[in-house]
Chain A
Amino acid sequence: MISTTSLRSRGSEWKQTYFWTMKKNKGMLFLLTALMFVSLPVSCMISLSNWKNSASGESSSVQTLANDFTHLFNTLLSLTTVPLILLFALILCVTLFGYMQKKRSVDLFHSLPVGRAPLLLGRWCTGLTVLFAPLLICFVALGIIAQAYGIAGTFAGLAPKFLWVLLMGTSAFTFSVLMAVCSGTTFDTMISIVGVNIGYPLFILCIFNYIQVILPGVHIDLGDNLTIVTLLAPFAAPFLPFMESDMTTSSLYPTFYLVWWILLTVLMLVGSVRLYQRRKSESAEDTFAFRIPKMVIRFLITAVGGFGLGLLMDPNGGILFYLGVFIGSILAHVVVEALYSRGFRNMKKSMAWYGIYAAFFFAFYGILATGFFGYDTRMPNADDVASVVIQSGYNSEVSGFGCQEVYSQSGQSIAQIAPVLTKPADIQKAVSVHKDIVDLYRKEGYPYRLKGNCGCETTFTYHLKNGKTFQRIYKYYDFQAQPEHTSRMKSIIKKIADLTDYKSGRDAIFYVDPEDVASMTFQLPADEKTGQTTAITDETEKEELFSALKQDFSENKINYSSEEENNLLVEFKLTFRDQIPVKDSRLKILVGGYKGKINLYEGSYSIYDTNSSAYRILKKWEEKNQAR
């Protein structure tokens, strides 16, 4: 008993276990060091040398080298180092903790005068040492290489990625240990590790998909929710920061995700120790030592099988969908049970667990179909709303280019341009329109069911006076792909589409000043073949035309029109200067909490209407020139 054994002797037991297992695993340490060394510092050194030799002039600058190095480092880390760490986490789990899954080895190790906690922790530390000593050696080697090429500063900035790999390596290894403690055989350990790491992300993806296609008003952006998808998948999560197109340090990971993995790793380690102390030695060579992982994995895989096949067989929620859900889930359940039980002996008994999945499915589907406890009809009180941002594809006949996206200083997209309503009367109207849409969706398809999604969203983003945000995104489904639905939506949206603030809020030109325009050019259809454009250089003329474009935009006389496709009169192109300060209060609402300056890409504005202000100005200038 622990109470009879001093902490000191436990420490000594840990030390003996650690040094002994380190001695036995030094081969593994050398192997991983060699593999990692070749895949990271050696590859980086060769590439840097090649770049340095082949580059000349401007391109050979330290900054270019540093950028190339950063990119290569991230690529190699994600493609070689992380997979190697994860692979060795699995191998080490088997070599270090496989003993508890064999009756003969259990006889030896559990009869030794070593407590289970030091036995497990000693081996866990050995695993971490074998995993991370090579990584640290590579990190130091890379630092020396970076120093030699004069990019040590850039290299130091990459340290958080190394720490992330360390953390996730610890997490993946600890998770494997936990599964080993819970399993009776190595095969079951592997099934459990793979089951959770594949089953959980797929399950969450299924849940996300079902929620957003059944429940009106919900949109789940997968890109924004990858953290949730990998929240319990330590073998998938390490890759997350490397999936960002811009692999800068600032976009490494959200803080909550980092904290989550630290906490989860600690929890898994404590859980492993506690469970190992309670683990029955006789469960070696049995299918499991603790039932929980088996139950969780069986549920996850059963759910994924059902949800997945149902969706494949009929994405519109018909009878084939239910058949698919049943066949998929029962097959998945049978496969998992047969794998865990090594046959069909316990199949009948396990069907009670299938019943739990079936109950979950019907409850989940039923809750969504009935509006998720009023989620579908919930909307804020107009009096509580400070502003509302509305994006809709039904607002007018006009669509196309312009300047619609706002970027941060570092070039990341931070907002879509959309009308912002702030006047109480406008907000009242927006809420009323929102309610009409809710009623329309209810009328067209309640109780809600699975349906094909055609995209085309109408979004209401309410910024409430209490600082909170309330958002609903309405999709356009397969069954609504008929003229009646479109005309109903148009007539609803029209109630706000004619509001002045709505009309004067659909493009970036409404949110910046003429001095923010760096260049303004136009092209006549006749010049399209030659590519000839005319630049407006006079500041007064530029200002006049800028105002005219805004007016035309407000009057729907700008951009693509299907009815006048062949009557293009002129096309304007506006480029904006870099680092524009956010002055407009509506733009401040659009960019949310972003405090820095913004960038806008080139805007393109097509004129089809001879009565448009911009066109009339051009005509006026032309006549003036001809008169001269």
Chain B
Amino acid sequence: MIKAKELVKTFGCKAALDHMSFSIDGGSIFGLVGSNGAGKSTFLRTLAGVYRPDGGELLVDGEPTFENSRIKGRICFIPDYPYFIPQSTPLEMGTFLSKIYPRWDWSMFQKLNRIFPIGAKKKISTMSKGMQRQAALICALSARPDYLLMDEIFDGLDPVMRQLLKRLISDEVSSRKMTVIIASHNLRELEDFCDHIGLFHKGGVLFEKDIDELKLGICKVQAAFKPNIPGEEAFAPLNIVKWETHGSLVSLVARAGREEVLQKVNSLHPVFSEVLPLTLEEIFICEMEAVGYDIDNILA
């Protein structure tokens, strides 16, 4: 289990993580989403023990990770731009990491090398971006970590490799309860992969939820009213995140269950109403708009 308590990480006078508190259960696939500069990569690096927290604490199974080799031996971190020892091959990287990670599994390494045909004896520096990520993934999974941290892992991978990656990771999660944390802007990939989502903004967590609960807890309704459209206040006590009108058509996103929203809308006697499912990307945009992070605000 990962637990952040009042976690603070600053760069100069800017707080990248500003008194962040939340927790991630073991055996889950946790998606970190958020605006640029929200603190996702900083959180992953702090969790990996690369950064030392400036305040609060970040505990993995009750222990901090910074300068804690025992815990770090159970964590693998694939950053957004993975680094490999100069002139090394995946095999050499494996040899290096096998001496450091206590649970290194050569059979897994060989199996993954067969699955990802990048060439174990080929210099990593000559590989494409996607192949380098595959090499990083092979090394990370061969270390048999309890916690796998990945930053923009889908970046550079082709659709087939993305599906393969998801399947491999899902297998690991289901077979040995590995916890996976993925930071990504590719919400479509996270949507059908993660079971939990945490939304970061300006160094804080806006929310952290089960993805199904998240989807059930917010919905979009389109309704037509004649002759007059009721005002936004007429929909109270619904927590409306987004409100748009086009002629007699009202389009709203509310933080409530489908039935609750429909019941409220129908009580206002619309000519027509329907509930539309929201994608993760739409939820993200709505939530971010709610905190003032929208195109209009940015352009203004």
A106 pairs with B67, CB closer than 8 A: no
Q: Residues of A with Cβ closer than 8 Å to B?
A: 1-2, 4-5, 9-10, 13, 16, 20, 24, 102, 104-108, 110-116, 277, 280-282
B interface residue count range (under 10 / 10 to 19 / 20 to 34 / 35 or more) = 20 to 34
Contact residues in B for A1 (Cβ distance below 8 Å)? 63-64, 66-68
A277 pairs with B67, CB closer than 8 A: yes
CA–CA, A4 and B60, complex, Å: 14
A20 pairs with B99, CB closer than 8 A: yes
Instruction: Pick 26 A–B contacts, CB within 8 A, sort by A.
Output: A1-B64, A1-B68, A2-B67, A9-B69, A13-B69, A16-B99, A24-B85, A104-B81, A104-B83, A105-B83, A107-B50, A107-B79, A107-B81, A108-B79, A110-B49, A110-B50, A111-B76, A113-B69, A113-B100, A114-B69, A115-B67, A115-B69, A277-B67, A281-B45, A281-B52, A282-B11
CA–CA, A10 and B101, complex, Å: 13
A113 pairs with B99, CB closer than 8 A: no
Minimal beta-carbon separation of B183 from chain A (angstroms) = 13
Minimal beta-carbon separation of A2 from chain B (angstroms) = 7
CA–CA, A609 and B87, complex, Å: 87
Q: With contacts A4-B63, A112-B72 known, what are 16 further pairs, Cβ within 8 A?
A: A2-B67, A4-B70, A5-B68, A5-B69, A5-B70, A13-B69, A20-B96, A102-B83, A104-B81, A111-B45, A111-B48, A113-B72, A113-B100, A115-B69, A116-B67, A282-B51
Q: Residues of B with Cβ closer than 8 Å to A?
A: 11, 45, 48-52, 63-64, 66-73, 75-77, 79, 81-85, 96-97, 99-102
CA–CA, A102 and B64, complex, Å: 24
List the A residue with the shortest CB-CB distance to B86: A24
Most buried by A among B50, B51, B63, B72: B50
A114 pairs with B100, CB closer than 8 A: yes
Minimal beta-carbon separation of A126 from chain B (angstroms) = 14
B51 pairs with A281, CB closer than 8 A: yes
Contact residues in B for A13 (Cβ distance below 8 Å)? 69, 100
Contact residues in A for B79 (Cβ distance below 8 Å)? 104, 107-108
CA–CA, A114 and B63, complex, Å: 16
List the A residue with the shortest CB-CB distance to B73: A113
Contact residues in B for A10 (Cβ distance below 8 Å)? 69
A9 pairs with B67, CB closer than 8 A: no
List the A residue with the shortest CB-CB distance to B101: A113
B70 pairs with A112, CB closer than 8 A: no
* Residue from the list B48, B68, B75 in contact with A4, Cβ < 8 A: B68
CA–CA, A277 and B69, complex, Å: 13
List the A residue with the shortest CB-CB distance to B65: A111
Contact residues in A for B71 (Cβ distance below 8 Å)? 113
CA–CA, A114 and B70, complex, Å: 9
List the A residue with the shortest CB-CB distance to B11: A282
Most buried by A among B63, B69, B73, B77: B69
Contact residues in A for B100 (Cβ distance below 8 Å)? 13, 16, 112-114
CA–CA, A104 and B77, complex, Å: 12
List the A residue with the shortest CB-CB distance to B151: A107
CA–CA, A10 and B68, complex, Å: 11
Minimal beta-carbon separation of A594 from chain B (angstroms) = 57
Minimal beta-carbon separation of B93 from chain A (angstroms) = 10
